[in-house]
Amino acid sequence: MTLSPIRDRSIQRAALAAILVAAAVGRGCLWRRESPQQTTVAAASDLQFALDDILGGFRRAHPSADIRVVYGSSGNFYTQIRGGAPFDLYLSADIEYPRRLAREGLAQPESLFTYAVGRIVVWVPAGSPLDLDRLGMGALEAPAVRHVAIANPEHAPYGRAAVAAMRSTGVYDRVAGKLVLGENVAQTLQFVESGAAEVGIVALSLALAPPVRGHGRYWEVPPDAYPEIDQGGAILAHARRSRLALDLRNYLASAAARTRLKQFGFLPPPERD
């Protein structure tokens, strides 16, 4: 079958147009100019509310800065960075991950920093009959409590802190059979908020997060009951010349950022030398 010349030409034109469009789109994707004013941050999901707020302040000081933030699990980011993910600044919920990356040559060792110390709380939904102020950690042992939700201690730093706190207050053995494990603190809170578990141990930052505040009550676990949860980060090796990544890292370590972080439930790291 032969095509009529007119039809033939219109197909050619359509093909040419398609190629041009594809080339334009492809150019946008493949040859995205890496300007020094652009940086991509991989941040632990518990930072979501605090970081959006803090970045507002940073952007006012750097109006031309193009900062992209990806929120997710710190452990997943670690795996992705080892797989070559194009992040510039990594803000982990556990400083152990950036430390490992630095050892492996994937992060700049001198950029390692602790930006905040996480706190854990015992959390119950607003309608719960448990009197947290009176019971404290004892709330986990209450007969009405059938399930206690914590983050998975195998990989979630807040889960490890929860187990440590239960051990040091001596309730662990009686609570161990009631434990259900969330993949992360946010899911742990979901277990409690849905009523499936009666009580949970979550991050203070989560209990204070705008969508959660008002949905429940919390009791702060004394900080001496568990080892410090150091939330740390680092600039990744391939971004060592990025001025913006460095500025952002330094801004997060500044007094202004720490004050904001504190309001979101992340305490400033203790002064060490």
Partner 1 sequence: MDWQAIWLSVRLACCTTAILLLLGVPLAGWLAFSPRRWRFLVEAAVALPLVLPPTVLGFYVLLAIGPRSPVGALYAHFTGGVLPFSFQGLLIASVLYSLPFAVQPVAGAFQSVDRKLIEASWCLGVSRFATFRRVAVPLARPGIATGAILSFAHTMGEFGVVLMVGGNIAGVTRTVSISIYDQVQALRYDAALETSLFLLGFSFVVLALTYALQRRIWTAWPMS
- State yes or no: residue 155 binds partner 1 (CB under 8 A): yes
Segment interacting with partner 1, rule: CB under 8 A, options 61-69, 184-192, 206-214, 261-269: 184-192
- State yes or no: residue 152 binds partner 1 (CB under 8 A): yes
- State yes or no: residue 65 binds partner 1 (CB under 8 A): no
Please give the residues from 194 up to 223 whose contact with partner 1 meets the rule CB under 8 A.
194-197
- State yes or no: residue 191 binds partner 1 (CB under 8 A): yes
Q: How far is the CB of 40 from partner 1 (least distance, A)?
A: 22
Segment interacting with partner 1, rule: CB under 8 A, options 9-17, 74-82, 241-249, 254-262: 74-82
Count of residues in contact with partner 1, rule CB under 8 A: 23
Residues 6+ apart with CB under 8 A from 73: 44, 45, 183, 184
- State yes or no: residue 259 binds partner 1 (CB under 8 A): no
Q: Which is nearer to partner 1, 67 or 161 (CB)?
A: 161
- State yes or no: residue 154 binds partner 1 (CB under 8 A): yes
Write a three-state SS string for 94-149. CCHHHHHHHHCCCECHHHCEEEEEECEEEEEECCCCCCHHHHHHHHHHCCCCCCEE
Q: Which is nearer to partner 1, 191 or 226 (CB)?
A: 191
- State yes or no: residue 77 binds partner 1 (CB under 8 A): no
Give the burial string for 202-220 (b: 16+ CB within 10 Å, else e). bbbbbbbbeebeeebbbbe
Q: Which is nearer to partner 1, 152 or 242 (CB)?
A: 152
| Chain positions contacting partner 1, by CB under 8 A | 73, 75-76, 78-79, 146-147, 149, 152, 154-155, 179-183, 187, 190-191, 194-197
